[in-house]
Amino acid sequence: MLAKDLHHLFESFNNVRVLIIGDAMVDAYIWGKVNRLSPEAPVPIVTVDKKEARLGGAANVALNVQAMGATPILCSIIGEDMYGREFMDLMQTQKLTTQAIFKSNQRVTTVKTRIIGNNHHLLRVDEEMQSDVSLEETGMMLKAIFSMLENNAIDVIVFEDYDKGVINHELIHKVVIEATKKKIPVAVDPKKKNFQNYKNVTLFKPNLKELKDGIRIDFDFTNEEILEAVAKELKTKSSIENILITLSEKGMYISGKTMQKIIPAHVRNIADVSGAGDTVISVASLCLALKLDPVLMTELANIAGGMVCEKVGVVPINKEQFLQESITLLCK
């Protein structure tokens, strides 16, 4: 591939409209220094320097899509609470549309608080509900989604599933049927609860833990033949077109209609893997929308996911740095 081809491709991302459906949350951070252990228990004492709140979960996918120049539309349900108000403020600060964000007085807004001491991730505290949203709330989401599919030129749909209850079987089934009718590709970043409910989708992107939890089988992922057999069975059983499995430091495995390949990871100084999966599905979905070759899609997603792992905390991709690194690694 030539550098000018990558420049053109990255410019093309600017025209893509992405509908993201899933569990949105607030990623909160407490940054500080650790100089001593507590006399009360063998735990470090963090002297706080600063506190910060960022968009997380499905909203981080929206940030990554936006960072690539594309237009994200996020559909989710948050709580009618203090963190819900903070979430809406963060969305508006980032100039992300809130037209399909619903508030519920039956739920709390998911918050993941990470405590960072001396630039090391020491602890995470989660405030959340994992029960499914109500039938009425699912109905509200479906009405908004169908309206957007009818009135907006949506190029790709992403299910960003964190098992927090926003996504359920009915929502998946009805959205996939509508997407299939309109020939809109569907990409999925799954978790355990709905793993078996995603059928007839274009791209299915589990990591190894999600894959093992989802199929309830442990296997040797270093054996490519076993990996291929697992992917083939899942594709056949659920009528999935492409499976992209992230293999941590080993890279990524892509299994398409007529091919399968492992793309090795690039050497990185890993600081924090938080949010890497969000970046991977964001880049992969944009490639899907532009009908890119699955191997090129995986190579680009592999580079992007690795890049954000070099930053502490959940951060979106930097498009210009991503382009330059892609040119360096992919252009001969």
Residue 141 C-alpha from the chain's centroid: 19
C-beta separation of 255 from 206 below 8 A: no
Q: How many angstroms separate the Cα of 154 from the Cα of each of 1, 16, 71, 145? A: 28, 8, 9, 10
C-alpha closest to that of 195 among 164, 169, 231, 165: 169
Please state, in angstroms and rounded to a whole number, the distance separating the CA atoms of residues 210 and 37.
Answer: 35
What is the number of other CB atoms lying within 10 angstroms of the CB of residue 103?
16
- Beta strands 120-127; 186-189: pairing state: unpaired
Residue 276's identity, in one-letter code, is: A
User: How big is the CA angle at 267 (ends 262 and 273), to the nearest 5 degrees?
Assistant: 85
* Token pair in block for residue 319: 């498009």
Marked catalytic residue, from 89, 218, 278, 293: 278
Expressed in angstroms, the distance from the first to the final Cα of the chain is 7
| 278 catalytic per annotation | yes
For tokens 């090129």, what's the residue? 296
| Active-site annotation, residues | 278
